[in-house]
Structure 1
């Protein structure tokens, strides 16, 4: 943030650059919801969004 002296406070993530992102296991959904989710994913991929290895969490 502008105006804050970095000697007072700063944010840093301790990340090992040699490790890549972790792929999470696939979540289980109701079969009707799977069809809806796959249709939405297809729409996003056609629109140019990039697919990643991180599935959506259960929101309910």
Structure 2
């Protein structure tokens, strides 16, 4: 689906769809992801899940 050499991609939908396409420079950082969390290391993921289970996440004010 994605081609990092020229930035081109294709998308096919089986029904009406809304698509948001964003772009940015690669960060050059390691990525660890599981569920809704994206961090840099597995240890950071474990901490995010522990914080979530302990109720330490609060909604961001709009």
TM-score, length basis structure 2: 0.29
Q: Which has the higher contact order (CA 8 A, sep 6+)?
A: 1
Which structure has the greater CA radius of gyration?
1
